């Protein structure tokens, strides 16, 4: 098989040819909480994932599997509408390939979004939370294996992974638009089962405010490649042991729909200023 670097360059070239733009500036991963964001774009180019070499196709409801190229202010932006998850059985290279390909296409900043369970003090369903840091509880790191120095260093530093300046900007944009935005720590669990009450309690004691099944592998790869990163979670449910009812994916989707307008305004206000 062709090495990862060459496969990323092939995918980046395909993105440039399909969009008519040699480079892009920002890539956004649209998770379960933001799947309808592309519907509000005034102008965009849509590319189904199967048309881009190496892109895996999501199978989870709410993850469309389409790449959009659009403009926010002076920024050329790629929107990954849908992601694949480790619990679907993908190896780490496949799991993170789409994000890495977009970074190889020139993007200097990664914006990750997700639906998460709230477990920290003050976390309520329907709130938007800025990710300040993460805890990897999945037992998977996408950098395990031979390192390619063309992508990044063997031992990336993870201090200030979520770029402080971008976090300040997000808080500023939220305040300007009168959108409540707090900060929190995101804990990544493998899934596909929702977390047990004991696991949620463990995460709380470790300092987590949010629990979920995505985001962290993409962030690790972006950090490895030296990019800026900002993360936004929509709290779609209270985590097990805190919630008073059984958790379902349908509940996640329903709550995300309630907050989608605020989320759209926040993201639309942020992207031109990154």
Side-chain half-sphere exposure of 215, counting CA atoms within 13 A: 35
Residue in 46, 87, 138, 183 annotated catalytic: 87
Q: How far apart are CA 170 and CA 11, in angstroms?
A: 30
Residue in 115, 174, 203, 256 annotated catalytic: 115
Q: How far apart are CA 233 and CA 205, in angstroms?
A: 20
Residue in 11, 32, 33, 68 annotated catalytic: 32
Residue in 11, 14, 104, 213 annotated catalytic: 213
For this structure, is 108 an active site residue? no
For this structure, is 213 an active site residue? yes
For this structure, is 115 an active site residue? yes
Residue in 69, 127, 233, 237 annotated catalytic: 237
For this structure, is 33 an active site residue? no
Neighbours of 39 (CB within 10 A): 8
Residue in 63, 105, 114, 218 annotated catalytic: 63
Residue in 136, 158, 182, 249 annotated catalytic: 249
For this structure, is 88 an active site residue? yes
DSSP string of 241-257, one letter each residue: TTSSS---HHHHHHHHH
Side-chain half-sphere exposure of 265, counting CA atoms within 13 A: 13
Pairing mode, if any, of strands 26-30 and 109-118?
A: parallel
Residue in 88, 172, 183, 201 annotated catalytic: 88
CB 102 within 8 A of CB 55: no
For this structure, is 214 an active site residue? yes
For this structure, is 43 an active site residue? no
CB 141 within 8 A of CB 190: no
111 phi and psi angles, rounded to 5 deg: -110, 120
Residue in 12, 14, 33, 85 annotated catalytic: 85
Q: How far apart are CA 177 and CA 113, in angstroms?
A: 19
**Catalytic residue list:** 32, 63, 85, 87-88, 115, 213-214, 237, 249
């Amino acid at each position: 098989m062709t090495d990862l670097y060459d496969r990323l360059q092939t995918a980046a070239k395909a993105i440039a040819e399909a969009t008519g733009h040699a480079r892009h500036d920002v890539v956004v991963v649209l998770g379960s909480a933001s799947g309808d964001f592309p519907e509000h774009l005034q102008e965009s180019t849509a590319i189904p994932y199967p048309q881009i070499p190496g892109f895996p196709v999501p199978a989870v409801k709410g993850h469309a599997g389409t790449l959009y190229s659009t403009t926010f202010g002076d920024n050329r932006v790629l929107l990954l509408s849908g992601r694949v998850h480790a619990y679907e059985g993908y190896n780490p290279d496949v799991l993170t390939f789409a994000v890495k390909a977009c970074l190889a296409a020139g993007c200097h900043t990664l914006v990750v979004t997700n639906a998460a369970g709230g477990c920290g003090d003050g976390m309520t369903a329907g709130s938007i939370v800025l990710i300040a840091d993460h805890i990897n509880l999945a037992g998977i790191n996408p950098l395990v294996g031979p390192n390619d120095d063309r992508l990044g260093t063997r031992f990336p530093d993870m201090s200030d992974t979520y770029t402080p300046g971008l976090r300040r900007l997000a808080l500023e944009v939220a305040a300007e638009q009168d959108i409540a935005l707090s900060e929190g720590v995101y804990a990544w669990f493998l899934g596909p089962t929702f977390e047990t009450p004991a696991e949620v309690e463990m995460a709380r004691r470790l300092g987590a405010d949010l629990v979920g099944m995505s985001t962290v592998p993409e962030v690790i790869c972006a950090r490895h490649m030296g990019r800026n990163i900002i993360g936004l979670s929509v709290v779609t449910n209270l985590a097990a042991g805190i919630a008073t009812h059984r958790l379902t994916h349908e509940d996640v989707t329903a709550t995300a729909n309630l907050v989608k307008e605020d989320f759209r305004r926040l993201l639309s206000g942020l992207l031109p200023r990154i």
